[in-house]
Amino acid sequence: SADGHIDLPLLPHDLFVQHAPPSMRARMPRVIERDGAQVWVDEHGTQLALVGGSGHVGQVYVRGQSTRFDRMNESGFWDDCARGVYHPTDPALRVAAQDRDGIVGEVLYGVLGVANSIADQDVSAAVMQAYNEWLAEFCAYDPTRLVGIACLPSKNPSAAADEIRRCAARGLLGVEVAMT
């Protein structure tokens, strides 16, 4: 499959803080409780996505609204999300879903959109680096079936070149760059 999303709403809640340099941790996206829901926010508290939803903003799953989403839930996908179990970001569950769907491998990509929506270039680059580090660890679970595409900062060619080299050394086999 060449359409393997790993969108922000289903990522581990500590991903960006855990993988950021110590000097950047306070500025990284994080999950907070707001109005009875878990949401991803940026350093200013602006909501980026609803945790556990679909797509890049975390649209809530409502049974009967989408045939495709209902079909995904036949295996418990959305019910599990509601319990905090995220199939796309658990490599064992992801490979099990590949087996169930008859897929031999996936090309995986993720947070370029949200990273580029962050105005501060240093924070945006740190978000991509943190995601790329996590993605390399995720794909190492089964590199024959999980192929990661790194996100590159598009506003700083030197930083992008450095990140390409770092990601290649970590085993990521491709890159995506936003055209801004």
| Residue of 5, 25, 15 whose CA lies nearest to 88 | 5
Please give the C-alpha separations between residue 143 and each of 24, 84, 108, 176, in angstroms, as whole numbers: 30, 25, 11, 19
| Token pair 């192929």 in the structure block, residue | 147
Per-residue pLDDT, 134: 96
What is the Rg, in whole angstroms, of the alpha carbon atoms belonging to the chain? 16
Per-residue pLDDT, 95: 95
Chunked mean pLDDT (size 10), the chain, 180 residues? 82 95 95 95 94 87 90 87 90 93 92 86 92 96 95 86 94 85
Per-residue pLDDT, 105: 94
Q: Are 5 and 109 in contact (CB under 8 A)?
A: yes
Q: Are 127 and 118 in contact (CB under 8 A)?
A: yes
* Amino acid of residue 96: A
Per-residue pLDDT, 4: 84
Task: Say whether 65 sits in a helix, a strand or coil.
Answer: coil
| Token pair 């500590």 in the structure block, residue | 14
